[in-house]
Chain A
């Protein structure tokens, strides 16, 4: 053990005086509490916790104490510095929280400002309706078939039992090409796709064929020279008109809802025998033929039914022309106009909107119809 500290300075040592330590702590706590900002608190920390702070000085004095006094003084100063440190940390947390809070408030923006800087594009609803129908049938195990729009007359007419004398082959309906004896036309129906499919594939065949078709009608509210059809063709062993009805009912449900009822009646088409015409119950008036005010229903013209389209069992002659044995296989086919379905399902007023290409038309539909 060494002798008495010859450097002992009573003045200096007074920093360790308990009263002085308490005073320094009180002074620090007051300053900490009074720090109004993180910057203030930083100054307070330097003054009361820094190297030149009273408590730091007191701490330094401990070394000069006699060993017997060191422990007690050290404890006292350590507690004092701990109290000050905790107070600074607490105040620091408080002030940081206040600052964070304030920043969030300051950073507020008006999120109702217009946010889309790039105009949205859109799909054409004709395409979306075609996709919807195709997808539903694909889901039932069918496939999607396609063919060219400029088609041979044989595929568009002859093979479909539309012989040379059929009215549809005359100039008033069909776009013929130059030279007129080219044997080529703009297809008047999607049915040549049926023929191509039957020529190229072995039964069983279950295909839907959506596509563009052409007739020499001038554009008006209900006609357009270029329009879209979707056709279904099934060829298999043992297919009956009951299956045809089943497929048609599926079609109607997909387009107009689960509850839609249908009725069928005999009709005539050269490519089918027997032939069938299908009506579905008007979705606007639910078959009553009039609206709530009692006026004639505009969707169905008062009959309560809307014509869906022609269908039937594929004519044996058509099967034969495609090399399919009509004694082994039977099949059915049906088709409908997509524009008309769109008018009915989406209340489109007329053909003009669908064919003019005004961006407002496509843009009002989403990407799924």
Chain B
């Protein structure tokens, strides 16, 4: 919402010398956020120009550029060289003969942008033809301003090249743009903002002059017939509870709106159109009541407000044919002919036009929910819908209609009908018994009863200190008609906010809360940090990827048809149709990051990510949407939680290129399957969790011969690690031999939940013995080791595989595994005979389990 300072000064006192920044700061202090400041920071010359010639050339980059000659009156080159101004312009939306706005060298535009003659696109440009946003008039940058279009033919008829455009467009005056929160619909008017500014100045007596304080005639039988026939109110709330109609006849359609009004509308970011339309817009900006003007001669005698019927269509003013919903509230002529979507936008057929002499002014009050839904359904946000959606003061309708009628008569001639229609079904909001100590309790700052009552009265509330229920600490408060946000079943906090706001939020003290006891981070939270830190310590770099993946990914990852990871959640409105699914594994999206790194020239990359994956296991269920008036019952809560699909927390990692650098010490070492397995083992070790590794020949997307399956000793799956399948790498455009691991962090969290129990260790000397076992090549080393451990007995301290040999010195199809066994007894030094016995038992166990033969 914009507001020129001078307009503000009409409704409240503005101390001499008050700047736009001062007003903005004052409004911020009462909770109205400044969005922007416009105007007042332009220094000329900024003038009206007429395009005399234009020559368009398409540049090498395909962009057309216009070399123009512009008449800027007795300015610029005319003054120095006696010829018209030469200006280069990138816009296309104007023709020879158009009146435009030209900024000349020496001028300064908003933001301190200084204009000088400069060479651009090969020629000197002596200034610039301006777009709206460049001079702080609006946000439009689709083209330059053509004055006949901005101001209308009539208003621009008398303009001459060289005229001062700063004054013409009201740019010399500062205009504030405020960000209005949804609970303060009344601030979508100069009236509302002026009231707030007045509050920021301490609400001095007589300091606010309400523009809505005008006499209005009572409703009578002579008025235009209006019927409200809302047969399907939304949530029981009538779509229209007030409708005022006034008629003025004999308006001179050739009379334009006055220049001051046009300038104000321009400053507010609206276009002057015609007297009738400008007046309705002006009154709306002044007091906040949206108005609509109908051409009476196009109406048949009665207005009916009703909901749309199925299949009805209306072509709105923006030339879009809209299929209406039975929830849309309509203004109709006699019930049949559609005139407008109530409170949102008019139809094309009944609009006032250049021949309109009789106008019906509509000032109505519509249900905010109804308007909000319609506006959203049709993706149609208008000045009217914005206001109705946030709540319009229902007491304003007659006043606003009167203000419009007065302006139309004053500037367009004509006479007002005696008939006054005011269909008023609005009700006064109920009084609320307010505990005057409640604001202090909520805010944490003591406000006296007098202070609370004074603030509420300044806000426009009626405060009854002697009615039913009032006592030392209770008063009856009725909010003003423009504050629907204060009407709810427990407005105590709302009033507390008002008191704190007007008293000043910055008076609220800062008191650090002191919770009694905290348990610190949970085991799971600490564990996740250990996992991430361990991976980072092992050389992996953490990244955070988007979870959105392509439908084709499941095939590219070669997931089997019955794989649970094919059950992905589908986003109904994805940002990209190419990636509509949510990842079911971390690797699924981590590959994107690896590809990006590789494409940027990183050859040696090791990445990891810790995050949730989405595993619905099938189609999504339906989550209930219970009432919010109380806590959902246990069954409903259970359904609510159960409907949310499983989202295990997993870690994924990828590595390609060298994991150990080449350097003066010699060659580097490329990442291989073992690095992926080692990374998971490192994490498990950091958590003191034992994992068992097995060859897994059938788990996509890994290489069938280079994939490890990692489990807990009880068989619970932890994850997989190894080299990715070459076809997967090719399909995903990843470097050959890329390795990967993915594991379930939640499983590791559970596995490490119990406190580690310390094992005693012996101080007697160890006994070492080496063995070499010949096994078939398809026997897993892990199985051999497990058998050795099982057979060696209690005294075994460690088994280390220190050599693997496969080659001509051993039988084909076999390999030799060399182990060092370390034995140590708790209570004595072992004898050689004992150690040999243990060793032989271990070898025997390996022989039984794996067919190993000692060499």
Residues of A within 8 A of B (CB): 113-114, 116-124, 126-127, 131, 134, 138, 140-144, 146, 148-155, 158-159, 161, 165, 167, 170-171, 175-184, 186, 199, 204, 206, 212, 216, 218, 225-226, 234, 236, 239-243, 245-250, 263-268, 273-277, 296, 313, 315-317, 320-323, 326, 330, 354-359, 362-363, 367
Please name 23 pairs of A and B residues whose Cβ atoms are closer than 8 Å in the assembled complex, sorted by A.
Answer: A121-B542, A123-B536, A124-B544, A138-B518, A150-B614, A154-B640, A178-B570, A183-B643, A184-B623, A186-B582, A240-B441, A241-B444, A242-B509, A243-B512, A247-B512, A266-B500, A274-B443, A275-B497, A317-B628, A323-B630, A326-B490, A356-B596, A367-B533
Are A246 and B510 interface neighbours, CB within 8 A? yes
List, in ascending order, chain A residues with CB within 8 A of B546's CB.
225-226, 355
Are A268 and B184 interface neighbours, CB within 8 A? yes
Are B510 and A242 interface neighbours, CB within 8 A? yes
Are A242 and B445 interface neighbours, CB within 8 A? yes
Complexed CA–CA distance, A212 and B589 (Å): 15
Residues of chain B from 173 to 200 with CB closer than 8 A to chain A in the complex: 181-184
A-B pairs, top 7 by smallest CB distance, nearest first, are A266-B31, A240-B444, A323-B631, A357-B593, A242-B444, A274-B497, A183-B623
Count of B interface residues, CB-CB < 8 Å? 107
List, in ascending order, chain B residues with CB within 8 A of A218's CB.
575
Complexed CA–CA distance, A326 and B492 (Å): 11
Complexed CA–CA distance, A153 and B766 (Å): 63
List, in ascending order, chain B residues with CB within 8 A of A140's CB.
512, 514-515, 518
User: Which of B31, B369, B538, B661 is within 8 Å of A165, CB to CB?
Assistant: B369
Are B542 and A245 interface neighbours, CB within 8 A? no
B541: CB under 8 A from chain A?
yes
> What's the nearest-Cβ distance from chain B to residue A366, in Å?
10
Residues of chain B from 499 to 530 with CB closer than 8 A to chain A in the complex: 500-501, 505-506, 508-522, 525, 529
Residues of chain B from 583 to 634 with CB closer than 8 A to chain A in the complex: 592-593, 596-597, 600, 602, 604-608, 611-612, 614, 619-626, 628-632
User: Which of B443, B493, B513, B661 is within 8 Å of A206, CB to CB?
Assistant: B513
Are B500 and A180 interface neighbours, CB within 8 A? no
B722: CB under 8 A from chain A?
no
List, in ascending order, chain B residues with CB within 8 A of A131's CB.
529
Are B542 and A122 interface neighbours, CB within 8 A? yes
List, in ascending order, chain A residues with CB within 8 A of B213's CB.
none
Knowing that A183-B625, A241-B443 touch, tell me 10 more A-B residue pairs with CB under 8 angstroms: A121-B539, A178-B620, A182-B623, A212-B611, A241-B500, A245-B511, A246-B511, A246-B512, A357-B543, A359-B541
Complexed CA–CA distance, A123 and B30 (Å): 43
Closest A residue, CB atoms, query B595: A357
Complexed CA–CA distance, A243 and B517 (Å): 17
> What's the nearest-Cβ distance from chain B to residue A343, in Å?
15
Closest B residue, CB atoms, query A242: B444
Closest B residue, CB atoms, query A131: B529
Complexed CA–CA distance, A322 and B628 (Å): 8
Complexed CA–CA distance, A239 and B490 (Å): 18
Complexed CA–CA distance, A171 and B572 (Å): 9
Closest A residue, CB atoms, query B524: A146
Are B622 and A181 interface neighbours, CB within 8 A? yes
Given A114-B663, A149-B612, A323-B631: A177 and B521 interface contact (C-beta under 8 Å): no
> What's the nearest-Cβ distance from chain A to residue B577, in Å?
13
Given A124-B542, A178-B571, A321-B630: A315 and B493 interface contact (C-beta under 8 Å): yes
B647: CB under 8 A from chain A?
yes
User: Which of B442, B522, B643 is within 8 Å of A241, CB to CB?
Assistant: B442
Are A362 and B575 interface neighbours, CB within 8 A? no
Are A152 and B643 interface neighbours, CB within 8 A? yes
Closest B residue, CB atoms, query A110: B664
User: Which of B112, B181, B521, B539 is within 8 Å of A118, CB to CB?
Assistant: B539
List, in ascending order, chain A residues with CB within 8 A of B445's CB.
240-242
By secondary structure, the B interface counts as loop
> What's the nearest-Cβ distance from chain B to residue A122, in Å?
5
Are A264 and B518 interface neighbours, CB within 8 A? no
User: Which of A123, A161, A171, A250 is within 8 Å of B533, CB to CB?
Assistant: A123
Are B640 and A150 interface neighbours, CB within 8 A? no
B33: CB under 8 A from chain A?
yes
B139: CB under 8 A from chain A?
no
Closest A residue, CB atoms, query B661: A117
Given A118-B660, A358-B596: A152 and B33 interface contact (C-beta under 8 Å): no
Given A123-B533, A264-B506, A357-B593: A247 and B513 interface contact (C-beta under 8 Å): yes
Closest B residue, CB atoms, query A264: B505
Interchain pairs with CB closer than 8 A, number = 294
Are A264 and B508 interface neighbours, CB within 8 A? yes
> What's the nearest-Cβ distance from chain B to residue A174, in Å?
8
Are A265 and B606 interface neighbours, CB within 8 A? no
Beta-carbon contacts of B54-76 to A below 8 Å, as 1s and 0s?
A: 00000000000000000000000
User: Which of B525, B541, B645 is within 8 Å of A121, CB to CB?
Assistant: B541
List, in ascending order, chain A residues with CB within 8 A of B301's CB.
none
B96: CB under 8 A from chain A?
no
Are B597 and A359 interface neighbours, CB within 8 A? yes
User: Which of B518, B539, B620, B644 is within 8 Å of A142, CB to CB?
Assistant: B518
List, in ascending order, chain A residues with CB within 8 A of B267's CB.
none
> What's the nearest-Cβ distance from chain B to residue A328, in Å?
13
Given A199-B637, A274-B500: A158 and B518 interface contact (C-beta under 8 Å): no
> What's the nearest-Cβ distance from chain A to residue B536, in Å?
4
Residues of chain B from 820 to 849 with CB closer than 8 A to chain A in the complex: none
> What's the nearest-Cβ distance from chain B to residue A145, in Å?
10
List, in ascending order, chain A residues with CB within 8 A of B664's CB.
113-114
> What's the nearest-Cβ distance from chain B to residue A90, in Å?
41
Are B500 and A182 interface neighbours, CB within 8 A? no
Are B497 and A265 interface neighbours, CB within 8 A? no
Are A273 and B497 interface neighbours, CB within 8 A? yes
Complexed CA–CA distance, A142 and B629 (Å): 29
B115: CB under 8 A from chain A?
no
B659: CB under 8 A from chain A?
yes
Complexed CA–CA distance, A121 and B513 (Å): 38
List, in ascending order, chain A residues with CB within 8 A of B261's CB.
none
Are B31 and A359 interface neighbours, CB within 8 A? no
List, in ascending order, chain A residues with CB within 8 A of B661's CB.
116-119
Closest B residue, CB atoms, query A179: B620
Closest B residue, CB atoms, query A263: B506
Complexed CA–CA distance, A112 and B706 (Å): 39
Complexed CA–CA distance, A119 and B369 (Å): 59
Are A153 and B625 interface neighbours, CB within 8 A? yes
List, in ascending order, chain B residues with CB within 8 A of A356's CB.
593, 596
Are A154 and B660 interface neighbours, CB within 8 A? no
Given A118-B660, A178-B572: A154 and B31 interface contact (C-beta under 8 Å): no
User: Which of A117, A121, A274 is within 8 Å of B660, CB to CB?
Assistant: A117
Are B376 and A170 interface neighbours, CB within 8 A? yes
Complexed CA–CA distance, A149 and B645 (Å): 10
Are B443 and A240 interface neighbours, CB within 8 A? yes
> What's the nearest-Cβ distance from chain B to residue A235, in Å?
11
Are A154 and B521 interface neighbours, CB within 8 A? no
Are B631 and A265 interface neighbours, CB within 8 A? no
B299: CB under 8 A from chain A?
no
Complexed CA–CA distance, A60 and B632 (Å): 113
B373: CB under 8 A from chain A?
yes
List, in ascending order, chain A residues with CB within 8 A of B644's CB.
148, 150-152, 184
Are A183 and B663 interface neighbours, CB within 8 A? no
B476: CB under 8 A from chain A?
no
Complexed CA–CA distance, A354 and B490 (Å): 44
Beta-carbon contacts of B372-396 to A below 8 Å, as 1s and 0s?
A: 1100100000000000000000000
Residues of chain B from 240 to 279 with CB closer than 8 A to chain A in the complex: none
Closest A residue, CB atoms, query B620: A182
Complexed CA–CA distance, A236 and B513 (Å): 10
Given A117-B660, A181-B622, A264-B505: A138 and B520 interface contact (C-beta under 8 Å): yes
Complexed CA–CA distance, A45 and B693 (Å): 64
Closest A residue, CB atoms, query B234: A165
Are B539 and A155 interface neighbours, CB within 8 A? no
List, in ascending order, chain B residues with CB within 8 A of A315's CB.
493
List, in ascending order, chain B residues with CB within 8 A of A273's CB.
493-494, 497
